[in-house]
Every structure is written in structure tokens, then in C-alpha cells.
């Protein structure tokens, strides 16, 4: 049976590279993984005052995570960190305190950029934020995708063979990671 993975897209932009990468991952995943792309459109801002009666969008997001065997973050880098929408999703999913919906789920991180740095700072920031809220975070292979601006055609299909190879290698390693660490 395939492990279900929530692929959380850290960008709201309609034509975001993170979304295109997440969609490409669903096509490249080995049979042992079932990847579900999760966008953050409509996820309201975390406000602890609302925790006693959480908004329906929080409940739905948390349930999506709880039904997953693992979580894979695909994110761009904004101002040397993760986008605010992704940090908000982590705040929503990790609450209430002590009941994180990410808890126990193996996690992976893929950052990306059309530039030469591949979102390294965003990935490192996630590695600082996530411990204590998720299960084990896959450390190798580290995947910072550079030059993704020309990796897709006008329909959003992955056309860059070198990137496809990197994503397949990552997914094979992630599948083994999930199998090893999922309870």
C-alpha cells in the first residue's frame, strides 16, 4: 500500500514554480508514494484567540495532515526565509500546543529559485522551525533547485531533464525515508 504524502506548496502565486514542482513530483513519484498537492489558498491567519473554536479551514487543513503518512514542503525563498503563508500554515497545523497535526510524520524539504541559490536559506529556516512539530526531517539528499525559471513549458509540464533526474532521485530517497520512519 502506498504512503500518502501531503505536498505543501509554500507559494500562493498562480504560476509559482513551487506549484509546478509539486505537480511534477506527483507524476514522478514511485508507486510506494501517493502525493497530494496541498495549496494554502484560503487558509486564514493563525490567531490563538480562535483556538477554542477553530475556523473550518484550520480544521480541514489539520485533518488533511492527520490523514497523511508524511509531509513534503516545496517552497520558494522570500527575503532569505520562507514565505509568510507557509509559516502561517505551520502555525495552524502545529496547534493546539502538544497536538501538532505534523507530529510523527516524516518530513522532506525541497526549496527552489529561478536564481542561482535555490532557496537554501528557506530550506535552512524550515530545518530550524520544524523540529518538535514534525516527525524526522530527511537530511540527505539536500535539494535546492536552481534555475527553475526555464524548467517548464507553457502548460506547466516539466521539460528540463536534469531537474527531472534530481526530483526522481529525491523521491526515491524520500520513499525509503518514509518507509523507514512511518509508524
How many structural domains comprise the chain? 1
Which helix (H) or strand (E) segment holds residue 170: the answer is helix 161-181
Say if 183 falls within a structural domain: no
Q: In a structure prediction context, what are the per-residue pLDDT tens digits for the chain, which is 183 residues long?
A: 899 999 999 999 999 999 999 999 999 999 999 999 999 999 999 999 999 999 999 999 999 999 999 999 999 999 999 999 999 999 999 999 999 999 999 999 999 998 888 899 999 999 999 998 899 999 999 999 999 999 999 999 999 999 999 999 999 999 999 999 986
Contacts of 182 (CB under 8 A, 6+ apart): 3, 69, 70, 105, 106, 135
Q: Confirm whether 121 is domain-assigned.
A: yes
Q: Is residue 10 part of a domain?
A: yes
Q: How far apart are CA 182 and CA 121, in angstroms?
A: 27
The answer as to whether 74 is a domain residue is yes
Instruction: Note the pLDDT of residue 183.
Output: 62
Considering the domain boundaries, does residue 136 fall inside one? yes
Whichever domain contains 164, its CATH number is: 3.40.50.360
pTM: 0.97
Find the domain containing 78 and state its range: 3-178
Contact 19, 11 (CB under 8 A): yes
Amino acid at each position: 500500500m502506498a504512503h500518502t504524502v501531503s505536498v505543501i506548496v509554500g507559494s500562493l502565486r498562480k504560476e509559482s514554480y513551487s506549484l509546478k514542482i509539486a505537480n511534477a513530483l506527483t507524476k514522478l513519484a514511485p508507486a510506494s508514494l501517493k502525493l497530494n498537492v496541498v495549496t494554502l489558498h484560503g487558509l486564514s491567519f493563525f490567531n490563538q484567540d480562535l483556538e477554542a473554536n477553530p475556523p473550518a479551514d484550520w480544521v480541514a487543513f489539520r485533518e488533511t495532515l492527520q490523514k497523511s503518512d508524511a509531509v513534503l514542503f516545496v517552497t520558494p525563498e522570500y527575503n532569505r526565509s520562507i514565505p509568510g503563508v507557509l509559516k502561517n500554515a505551520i502555525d495552524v497545523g502545529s496547534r493546539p500546543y502538544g497536538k501538532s497535526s505534523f507530529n510523527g510524520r516524516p518530513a522532506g524539504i525541497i526549496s527552489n529559485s529561478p536564481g542561482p541559490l535555490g532557496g537554501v536559506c528557506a530550506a535552512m529556516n524550515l530545518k530550524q522551525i520544524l523540529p518538535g512539530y514534525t516527525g524526522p526531517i530527511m537530511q540527505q539528499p539536500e535539494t535546492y533547485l536552481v534555475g527553475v525559471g526555464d524548467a517548464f513549458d507553457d502548460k506547466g509540464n516539466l521539460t528540463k531533464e536534469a531537474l527531472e533526474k534530481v526530483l526522481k532521485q529525491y523521491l526515491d530517497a524520500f520513499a525509503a525515508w518514509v518507509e523507514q520512519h512511518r509508524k
